[in-house]
């Protein structure tokens, strides 16, 4: 099928590089990749209480990451908390 129209999309230089890299990994041109993602990709919309919960989890992850980076070690309780947070995030996405 011949393509007859254009969609103009503005992105930052870093986003453009990421999109180009993903297209290359998929073995497609940027145009092909974008077309397939726009037509069959999905976006998970999170609102209300779920958004507050995920923001709290993200905040906890950031604090744990800062702690691990500043000390160079990951204590057992931090690793356990990370696993727990990852499971909560997985559960949130499974509900969709």
How confident is the model over 79-90, as a mean pLDDT? 81
pLDDT tens by residue, 3-51: 889 999 999 999 999 999 999 988 889 998 999 999 988 766 777 888 8
pLDDT for the residue 83: 83
Q: Is the Cβ–Cβ distance between 78 and 67 less than 8 Å?
A: yes
pLDDT tens by residue, 47-78: 788 888 888 888 888 888 888 888 887 778 87
pLDDT bracket for residue 93 (50, 70, 90): low
């Amino acid at each position: 099928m011949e393509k007859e129209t254009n969609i103009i999309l503005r992105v930052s230089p870093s986003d453009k590089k990421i999109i180009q890299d993903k297209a290359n990994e998929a073995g497609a041109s940027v145009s092909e990749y974008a077309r397939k993602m726009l037509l069959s990709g999905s976006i998970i919309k999170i609102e209300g209480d779920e958004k507050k919960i995920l923001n709290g989890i993200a905040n906890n992850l950031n604090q744990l990451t800062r702690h691990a980076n500043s000390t160079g070690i990951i204590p057992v309780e931090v690793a356990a908390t990370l696993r727990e947070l990852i499971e909560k995030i997985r559960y949130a996405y499974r509900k969709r």
